[in-house]
Amino acid sequence: DAKTTQPTSMDCAEGRAANLPCNHSTISGNEYVYWYRQIHSQGPQYIIHGLKNNETNEMASLIITEDRKSSTLILPHATLRDTAVYYCIVRTIIQGAQKLVFGQGTRLTINP
């Protein structure tokens, strides 16, 4: 699976949009971009995934560049409960274990 690069930490004010970048310059055609987050002392939680089109769900939006070498996760109105470590992962969809390869993620702190 391709490696990803994320900033180690970010801060955002409560109520503002949090934009978390991710670089995945070696992504291949059969790999999707997935985002998970992990709140302290809990297991990771799925947020969103995409291939090449922008995606939106009730939690977040995912913007993937046209060349697919980078993406941005957007939390439109961040709350204190969004404080967590956010992981950007590229995962193959071909047969096999399709395991998740986590990096160190971005520690997002939402400030009141």
Q: Which of 61, 73, 57, 60 is nearest to 24 (CA)?
A: 73
Q: Which of residues 34-63 bind another protein (CB under 8 A)?
A: 34, 41-46, 49
Question: And the tokens for 40?
Answer: 């302290």
| Nearest distance from C-beta of residue 112 to another protein, angstroms | 25
Task: Judge contact between 104 and 5, C-beta under 8 A.
Answer: no
Q: Which stretch binds another protein (CB under 8 A): 10-18, 20-28, 69-77, 99-107?
A: 99-107
Question: And the tokens for 98?
Answer: 């399709």
Q: Which residues bind another protein (CB under 8 A)?
A: 32, 34, 41-46, 49, 85, 87, 93-105
